[in-house]
């Protein structure tokens, strides 16, 4: 993981900082690794670090915790409840913050998963979830400081890691994860607006820029694809490649694109732009495989 701390203290809702402080303290006490994922991670990266407005701000927080067993998972969640800041809900992975209206989804990954990086939630095991990509996302995570007063540091995925998690999550729960399709299109459209990405393109990827006729958006998405391939295991990158290959095949249903441009025509300019961006992402991934 990246040990450089990015300081955004004072930019995050103090109540969310309190929630993450409690989780951080308990995780340290139990020697459990965790990082923030989902839409809150997207907000931290784009809205709070890079000042790029997100399409919808989220009130909820998703975290991944690295555990070996359901016993260890329950130990952590029971400890959080005992601290008085969290209450269980009717979903096994979802907890509510006692002080304000925020839900916290706590998803386990690591040795708790099977050989296919999947988990099934007890007691009925009727909820099955893919955790493919979580380990890579944790290893490449960014260290972000949320508060300098009683310092609170959290780990969030890099943009390439967040992108691959969005792709896998969307595919794993289609059609319920429509918001992942929205978020993925947002990332592809805005990646070139991150200052260090433009610098990277001009300093070390001029041939890529030239091939894309200095279209920063297309070049940045190809670069994003290359970065996803570089951080991913063989299994993860092949899974992402398979998903994108299917979802950019114009002889198929194009389900992801239909959700990305929901309400718009499949022949619209926005649809064609989204398709082009997905194809460039896949091209970048294949350039590094």
Q: How far apart are CA 109 and CA 112, in angstroms?
A: 6
Q: Which of 103, 130, 157 is the last residue of a domain?
A: 157
- Could you tell me the CA-to-CA distances from 272 to 121, 173, 257, 265 in Å, in that order? 39, 25, 9, 10
Residues 137 and 181 occupy one common structural domain: no
Cβ-count burial 25-56 (b if 16+ within 10 Å, e if not): ebbeeeebbbbbbbbbbbbbbbbbbeeeebee
Mind listing the pLDDT tens digit for each residue in 36-64? 999 999 999 999 999 999 877 677 999 99
Compute φ and ψ for 147, nearest 5 degrees: -150, 135
Torsion of CA 217, 219, 221, 224, to 10 degrees: -140
Residues 224 and 278 occupy one common structural domain: yes
Hunting for tokens 């718009």 — which residue is that?
Answer: 264
Residue 28's pLDDT band (cuts 50, 70, 90): very high
- Count of structural domains, the chain: 2
Q: Which of 157, 186, 204 is the last residue of a domain?
A: 157
Residues 186 and 260 occupy one common structural domain: yes
Residues 23 and 78 occupy one common structural domain: yes
Q: How far apart are CA 236 and CA 230, in angstroms?
A: 11
Residues 175 and 140 occupy one common structural domain: no
9: left (phi over 0), alpha (psi -120 to 50) or beta: beta
Helix-strand-coil percent breakdown of the chain, rounded to 5? 50, 15, 30
Q: Are 61 and 36 in contact (CB under 8 A)?
A: yes
Residue 85's pLDDT band (cuts 50, 70, 90): confident
Q: Which of 157, 184, 216 is the last residue of a domain?
A: 157
**Which pTM does this prediction carry?**
0.95
Per the structure, the complete domain to which residue 49 belongs is given by 2-157
Residues 14 and 115 occupy one common structural domain: yes
Q: How far apart are CA 158 and CA 163, in angstroms?
A: 9
Listing DSSP states for 41-83 in one string gives HHIIIIIIIS----SS--S-EEEEEE-SSHHHHHHHHHHHHHT
Average pLDDT on 26-37 reads 97
Residues 10 and 106 occupy one common structural domain: yes
What CATH number does the domain containing 147 carry? 3.30.460.10
Q: How far apart are CA 228 and CA 163, in angstroms?
A: 8
Residues 120 and 190 occupy one common structural domain: no
Residue 203 has pLDDT above 80, yes or no: yes
Q: Are 130 and 117 in contact (CB under 8 A)?
A: yes
- Strands 103-109 and 61-66 turn out to be parallel
The CB density around residue 236, as the number of other CB atoms within 10 Å, is 22
Q: Which tokens is 181 given? A: 């399709």
Of 87, 126, 119, which is closest to residue 104 (Cα–Cα)? 87
Residue 214 has pLDDT above 90, yes or no: yes
Residues 238 and 219 occupy one common structural domain: yes
Which pLDDT score, from 0 to 100, does residue 124 have? 87
The CB density around residue 195, as the number of other CB atoms within 10 Å, is 9
Residues 173 and 281 occupy one common structural domain: yes
Of 40, 33, 67, which is closest to residue 54 (Cα–Cα)? 40
Residues 148 and 200 occupy one common structural domain: no
Contacts of 217 (CB under 8 A, 6+ apart): 189, 191, 192, 277
Average pLDDT on 68-88 reads 95
Hunting for tokens 């694809």 — which residue is that?
Answer: 225
Residues 111 and 204 occupy one common structural domain: no
């Amino acid at each position: 993981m990246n040990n450089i701390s990015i300081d955004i203290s004072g930019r995050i809702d103090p109540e969310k900082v309190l929630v993450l402080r409690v989780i951080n303290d308990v995780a340290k006490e139990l020697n459990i690794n965790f990082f923030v994922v989902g839409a809150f991670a997207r907000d931290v990266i784009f809205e709070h670090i890079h000042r790029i407005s997100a399409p919808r701000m989220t009130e909820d927080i998703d975290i991944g915790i690295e555990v070996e067993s359901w016993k260890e998972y329950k130990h952590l969640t029971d400890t959080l409840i005992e601290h008085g800041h969290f209450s269980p809900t009717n979903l096994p992975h979802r907890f509510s913050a006692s002080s304000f209206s925020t839900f916290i989804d706590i998803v386990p990954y690591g040795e708790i998963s099977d050989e296919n990086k999947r988990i099934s939630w007890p007691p009925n095991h009727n909820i099955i979830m893919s955790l493919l990509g979580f380990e890579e996302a944790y290893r490449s995570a960014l260290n972000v400081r949320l508060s300098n007063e009683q310092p609170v540091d959290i780990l969030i995925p890099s943009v390439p890691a967040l992108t691959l998690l969005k792709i896998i999550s969307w595919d794993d729960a289609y059609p319920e994860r429509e918001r992942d399709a929205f978020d993925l299109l947002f990332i592809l459209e805005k990646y070139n607006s991150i200052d260090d990405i433009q610098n990277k393109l001009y300093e070390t990827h001029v041939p890529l820029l030239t091939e894309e006729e200095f279209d920063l958006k297309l070049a940045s998405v190809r670069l994003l694809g290359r970065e996803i391939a570089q951080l991913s295991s063989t299994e993860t990158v092949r899974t992402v490649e398979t998903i994108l290959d299917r979802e950019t095949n114009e002889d198929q249903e194009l389900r992801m694109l239909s959700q990305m441009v929901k309400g718009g025509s499949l022949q619209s300019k926005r649809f064609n732009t989204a398709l082009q961006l997905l194809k460039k992402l896949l091209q970048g991934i294949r350039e590094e495989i």
